Amino acid sequence: MVNKDVSPDAYRRFREFLEQQCGIVLGDNKQYLVRSRLAGLLYEHQLASMDELLGVAISGHNRSLLQQVIDAMTTNETLWFRDSYPFDLLINQILPELATKQRRLRIWSAACSSGQEPYSIGMSVLEFQRKSPAARSLSVEIVATDLSSNMLKKCEQGLYDELSLSRGLSADRRQRYFTQHESGMMQVSPEVRRMVSFRSLNLLHSYSMMGKFDIVFCRNVLIYFSTEIKQKILQQIAGQLQPGGILFLGASESVASAAESYRMVKCNPGLYYAKKD
Protein backbone atom coordinates (compact mmCIF):
# COMPACT_ATOMS: atom_id res chain seq x y z
CA MET A 1 0.00 0.00 0.00
CA VAL A 2 1.46 3.35 -1.06
CA ASN A 3 1.39 6.02 1.65
CA LYS A 4 0.76 9.46 0.14
CA ASP A 5 0.75 11.31 3.47
CA VAL A 6 3.53 13.80 4.19
CA SER A 7 4.85 13.81 7.74
CA PRO A 8 5.51 17.17 9.44
CA ASP A 9 9.27 16.54 9.50
CA ALA A 10 9.46 15.51 5.84
CA TYR A 11 7.36 18.54 4.84
CA ARG A 12 9.60 20.90 6.83
CA ARG A 13 12.76 19.53 5.19
CA PHE A 14 11.18 19.65 1.72
CA ARG A 15 10.03 23.25 2.22
CA GLU A 16 13.58 24.28 3.13
CA PHE A 17 15.00 22.32 0.19
CA LEU A 18 12.57 23.81 -2.34
CA GLU A 19 13.26 27.36 -1.17
CA GLN A 20 17.01 26.79 -1.39
CA GLN A 21 16.82 25.22 -4.86
CA CYS A 22 14.14 27.37 -6.52
CA GLY A 23 13.33 30.24 -4.17
CA ILE A 24 9.74 29.03 -3.86
CA VAL A 25 8.22 29.44 -0.41
CA LEU A 26 5.54 26.87 0.47
CA GLY A 27 3.05 27.84 3.16
CA ASP A 28 2.63 26.08 6.49
CA ASN A 29 -0.23 23.87 5.32
CA LYS A 30 0.48 23.01 1.70
CA GLN A 31 1.00 19.28 2.14
CA TYR A 32 -2.01 18.71 -0.13
CA LEU A 33 -0.17 20.52 -2.95
CA VAL A 34 2.86 18.27 -2.55
CA ARG A 35 0.63 15.17 -2.57
CA SER A 36 -1.36 16.23 -5.64
CA ARG A 37 1.68 17.20 -7.72
CA LEU A 38 4.00 14.34 -6.77
CA ALA A 39 1.66 11.37 -6.30
CA GLY A 40 2.24 10.08 -9.84
CA LEU A 41 5.99 9.88 -9.22
CA LEU A 42 5.44 7.39 -6.39
CA TYR A 43 4.14 4.81 -8.84
CA GLU A 44 6.58 5.70 -11.62
CA HIS A 45 9.57 5.18 -9.32
CA GLN A 46 7.97 2.37 -7.30
CA LEU A 47 8.41 4.10 -3.95
CA ALA A 48 6.38 3.14 -0.90
CA SER A 49 5.66 6.55 0.61
CA MET A 50 5.71 10.26 -0.04
CA ASP A 51 8.24 10.71 2.76
CA GLU A 52 10.57 8.29 0.96
CA LEU A 53 10.13 10.13 -2.35
CA LEU A 54 10.92 13.49 -0.75
CA GLY A 55 13.95 12.02 1.01
CA VAL A 56 15.36 10.61 -2.25
CA ALA A 57 14.79 13.93 -4.01
CA ILE A 58 16.47 15.94 -1.27
CA SER A 59 19.46 13.60 -1.20
CA GLY A 60 20.17 14.30 -4.88
CA HIS A 61 21.19 10.69 -5.49
CA ASN A 62 18.55 10.26 -8.21
CA ARG A 63 19.00 13.24 -10.54
CA SER A 64 16.12 12.21 -12.78
CA LEU A 65 13.69 12.08 -9.88
CA LEU A 66 15.02 15.36 -8.50
CA GLN A 67 14.36 17.11 -11.83
CA GLN A 68 10.86 15.63 -12.03
CA VAL A 69 10.05 16.83 -8.51
CA ILE A 70 11.27 20.36 -9.27
CA ASP A 71 9.39 20.39 -12.59
CA ALA A 72 6.17 19.26 -10.90
CA MET A 73 6.42 21.83 -8.10
CA THR A 74 7.31 24.80 -10.32
CA THR A 75 5.11 24.27 -13.40
CA ASN A 76 1.83 26.17 -13.65
CA GLU A 77 -0.67 26.12 -16.49
CA THR A 78 -1.37 29.65 -17.66
CA LEU A 79 -3.67 31.50 -20.04
CA TRP A 80 -3.43 33.01 -23.51
CA PHE A 81 -3.26 36.83 -23.37
CA ARG A 82 -3.58 36.69 -19.59
CA ASP A 83 -5.11 39.90 -18.14
CA SER A 84 -5.29 41.24 -21.73
CA TYR A 85 -4.07 44.77 -20.95
CA PRO A 86 -0.30 44.09 -21.29
CA PHE A 87 -0.88 42.81 -24.82
CA ASP A 88 -3.25 45.64 -25.70
CA LEU A 89 -0.59 48.10 -24.50
CA LEU A 90 2.02 46.34 -26.61
CA ILE A 91 -0.07 46.54 -29.78
CA ASN A 92 -1.48 50.05 -29.36
CA GLN A 93 1.11 52.02 -27.39
CA ILE A 94 4.47 50.45 -26.59
CA LEU A 95 5.39 48.87 -29.92
CA PRO A 96 4.32 51.94 -31.97
CA GLU A 97 6.57 54.13 -29.79
CA LEU A 98 9.56 51.80 -29.90
CA ALA A 99 9.22 51.18 -33.64
CA THR A 100 9.91 54.87 -34.33
CA LYS A 101 13.18 54.74 -32.38
CA GLN A 102 14.84 51.43 -33.23
CA ARG A 103 14.93 48.54 -35.66
CA ARG A 104 15.62 45.71 -33.23
CA LEU A 105 13.63 44.77 -30.16
CA ARG A 106 14.28 42.14 -27.49
CA ILE A 107 11.53 40.89 -25.19
CA TRP A 108 11.99 38.45 -22.31
CA SER A 109 9.20 36.23 -20.98
CA ALA A 110 10.55 35.06 -17.62
CA ALA A 111 8.98 31.98 -16.00
CA CYS A 112 7.15 31.22 -19.24
CA SER A 113 5.54 28.04 -17.87
CA SER A 114 3.68 26.20 -20.65
CA GLY A 115 4.48 28.80 -23.32
CA GLN A 116 1.24 30.73 -23.71
CA GLU A 117 2.79 34.05 -22.67
CA PRO A 118 5.71 34.23 -25.14
CA TYR A 119 3.52 32.99 -27.97
CA SER A 120 0.86 35.59 -27.03
CA ILE A 121 3.60 38.24 -27.21
CA GLY A 122 4.59 36.98 -30.65
CA MET A 123 1.00 37.15 -31.89
CA SER A 124 0.73 40.70 -30.51
CA VAL A 125 3.85 41.75 -32.43
CA LEU A 126 2.41 40.36 -35.67
CA GLU A 127 -0.90 42.12 -35.08
CA PHE A 128 0.91 45.42 -34.54
CA GLN A 129 2.91 44.93 -37.73
CA ARG A 130 -0.23 44.17 -39.73
CA LYS A 131 -1.74 47.43 -38.47
CA SER A 132 1.46 49.37 -39.23
CA PRO A 133 3.02 48.13 -42.49
CA ALA A 134 5.92 50.59 -42.06
CA ALA A 135 6.94 48.66 -38.92
CA ARG A 136 7.29 45.30 -40.65
CA SER A 137 11.03 45.87 -40.85
CA LEU A 138 11.16 45.89 -37.02
CA SER A 139 13.18 42.85 -35.91
CA VAL A 140 11.76 41.29 -32.74
CA GLU A 141 13.41 38.56 -30.66
CA ILE A 142 11.41 36.93 -27.87
CA VAL A 143 13.37 34.94 -25.29
CA ALA A 144 11.32 32.67 -23.02
CA THR A 145 12.84 31.08 -19.92
CA ASP A 146 11.69 28.66 -17.26
CA LEU A 147 13.21 26.37 -14.67
CA SER A 148 11.57 23.23 -16.06
CA SER A 149 13.63 21.79 -18.91
CA ASN A 150 10.93 19.23 -19.69
CA MET A 151 8.30 21.95 -20.01
CA LEU A 152 10.57 23.99 -22.29
CA LYS A 153 10.87 21.06 -24.69
CA LYS A 154 7.08 20.93 -24.92
CA CYS A 155 6.91 24.69 -25.39
CA GLU A 156 9.26 24.53 -28.37
CA GLN A 157 6.84 22.19 -30.15
CA GLY A 158 3.98 24.65 -29.65
CA LEU A 159 1.39 21.88 -29.32
CA TYR A 160 -1.77 22.49 -27.28
CA ASP A 161 -4.92 20.50 -26.60
CA GLU A 162 -8.49 21.76 -26.71
CA LEU A 163 -8.59 22.56 -22.98
CA SER A 164 -5.49 24.75 -23.24
CA LEU A 165 -6.83 26.54 -26.32
CA SER A 166 -10.11 27.32 -24.57
CA ARG A 167 -8.37 29.43 -21.92
CA GLY A 168 -8.13 33.01 -23.18
CA LEU A 169 -7.73 32.38 -26.93
CA SER A 170 -10.28 33.97 -29.25
CA ALA A 171 -11.71 32.07 -32.20
CA ASP A 172 -10.11 34.57 -34.58
CA ARG A 173 -6.65 34.11 -33.12
CA ARG A 174 -7.05 30.36 -33.05
CA GLN A 175 -7.87 30.34 -36.75
CA ARG A 176 -5.10 32.76 -37.63
CA TYR A 177 -2.22 31.36 -35.57
CA PHE A 178 -2.81 27.61 -35.27
CA THR A 179 -2.85 24.62 -37.58
CA GLN A 180 -3.96 21.03 -37.06
CA HIS A 181 -1.07 18.71 -36.12
CA GLU A 182 -0.91 15.03 -37.01
CA SER A 183 -1.10 14.22 -33.30
CA GLY A 184 -4.61 15.65 -33.19
CA MET A 185 -3.46 18.67 -31.18
CA MET A 186 -3.24 22.22 -32.50
CA GLN A 187 0.19 23.74 -33.23
CA VAL A 188 1.31 27.36 -33.08
CA SER A 189 2.09 28.59 -36.60
CA PRO A 190 5.73 28.59 -37.78
CA GLU A 191 5.54 32.38 -38.19
CA VAL A 192 5.00 32.77 -34.44
CA ARG A 193 7.29 29.93 -33.32
CA ARG A 194 10.23 31.41 -35.25
CA MET A 195 10.05 34.54 -33.11
CA VAL A 196 10.53 32.70 -29.81
CA SER A 197 13.58 30.93 -28.39
CA PHE A 198 13.36 28.92 -25.16
CA ARG A 199 16.11 28.64 -22.55
CA SER A 200 16.41 27.04 -19.14
CA LEU A 201 17.02 29.59 -16.38
CA ASN A 202 16.75 29.62 -12.61
CA LEU A 203 15.67 33.11 -11.53
CA LEU A 204 17.89 32.76 -8.45
CA HIS A 205 20.99 32.63 -10.65
CA SER A 206 22.77 35.27 -12.74
CA TYR A 207 21.11 36.74 -15.85
CA SER A 208 24.24 38.40 -17.23
CA MET A 209 24.50 35.99 -20.18
CA MET A 210 20.96 36.88 -21.30
CA GLY A 211 21.94 40.27 -22.72
CA LYS A 212 19.88 43.45 -22.57
CA PHE A 213 16.11 43.67 -23.12
CA ASP A 214 13.65 46.41 -24.03
CA ILE A 215 10.67 44.69 -22.38
CA VAL A 216 10.46 42.02 -19.66
CA PHE A 217 7.37 40.05 -18.66
CA CYS A 218 7.85 38.53 -15.19
CA ARG A 219 4.26 37.93 -14.17
CA ASN A 220 2.63 35.85 -11.46
CA VAL A 221 5.86 34.29 -10.28
CA LEU A 222 7.18 36.72 -7.65
CA ILE A 223 4.25 35.80 -5.39
CA TYR A 224 6.00 32.49 -4.68
CA PHE A 225 9.20 34.09 -3.36
CA SER A 226 10.26 35.66 -0.08
CA THR A 227 10.64 39.46 0.11
CA GLU A 228 14.42 39.17 0.04
CA ILE A 229 14.43 36.99 -3.08
CA LYS A 230 11.86 39.22 -4.81
CA GLN A 231 14.17 42.19 -4.29
CA LYS A 232 17.13 40.30 -5.71
CA ILE A 233 15.17 39.19 -8.80
CA LEU A 234 13.79 42.67 -9.47
CA GLN A 235 17.23 44.25 -9.13
CA GLN A 236 18.75 41.69 -11.47
CA ILE A 237 15.99 42.29 -14.03
CA ALA A 238 16.68 46.03 -13.82
CA GLY A 239 20.29 45.23 -14.67
CA GLN A 240 19.16 43.50 -17.88
CA LEU A 241 16.79 46.26 -19.00
CA GLN A 242 17.78 48.99 -21.39
CA PRO A 243 17.46 52.56 -20.01
CA GLY A 244 13.73 53.24 -19.80
CA GLY A 245 13.03 49.56 -20.44
CA ILE A 246 9.62 48.19 -19.48
CA LEU A 247 8.71 45.56 -16.87
CA PHE A 248 5.30 43.91 -16.66
CA LEU A 249 4.38 42.19 -13.39
CA GLY A 250 1.28 40.25 -12.38
CA ALA A 251 -1.84 42.07 -11.21
CA SER A 252 -1.10 41.33 -7.54
CA GLU A 253 2.64 42.07 -7.71
CA SER A 254 4.67 45.27 -7.34
CA VAL A 255 8.28 46.50 -7.30
CA ALA A 256 7.97 47.73 -3.70
CA SER A 257 11.12 45.92 -2.60
CA ALA A 258 13.16 47.44 -5.45
CA ALA A 259 11.38 50.77 -5.94
CA GLU A 260 14.68 52.63 -6.36
CA SER A 261 15.16 50.93 -9.76
CA TYR A 262 11.72 51.56 -11.31
CA ARG A 263 9.00 54.14 -11.78
CA MET A 264 5.35 53.18 -12.16
CA VAL A 265 3.58 54.11 -15.40
CA LYS A 266 -0.22 54.07 -15.04
CA CYS A 267 -2.26 53.32 -18.12
CA ASN A 268 -5.96 52.94 -18.80
CA PRO A 269 -6.33 50.12 -18.06
CA GLY A 270 -3.37 48.57 -16.27
CA LEU A 271 0.17 49.70 -15.52
CA TYR A 272 3.79 48.79 -16.07
CA TYR A 273 7.17 49.75 -14.58
CA ALA A 274 9.90 51.61 -16.42
CA LYS A 275 13.54 51.35 -15.46
CA LYS A 276 14.81 54.60 -13.99
CA ASP A 277 17.55 56.24 -16.05
Number of helical H runs and strand E runs in the chain: 12, 10
Report yes or no: 221 and 203 within 8 Å, Cβ to Cβ. Answer: yes
State the pTM of this model.
0.85
pLDDT, residue 3, reads 86
- pLDDT tens for the chain, 277 residues long, are 778 889 999 999 999 998 888 877 888 888 888 998 898 899 899 898 999 999 999 998 888 888 888 888 876 667 999 999 999 999 999 999 999 888 899 999 998 989 999 999 999 999 999 998 778 788 999 999 998 888 899 999 999 998 889 889 999 999 999 999 999 999 999 999 999 999 999 999 999 999 999 999 999 999 888 889 999 999 999 999 999 999 999 988 999 879 999 999 999 889 999 999 8
Indicate the residue type of 98. L
Q: Residue 241 has what pLDDT?
A: 97
How many angstroms separate the CA atoms of 7 and 220, rounded? Answer: 29
CA dihedral defined by 225, 255, 115, 206, rounded to 10 degrees?
-70
Torsions phi, psi of 202, nearest 5? Answer: -95, 120
pLDDT of residue 76: 67
Q: Give which of 206, 236, 212, 209 is closest to 222, Cα–Cα.
A: 236
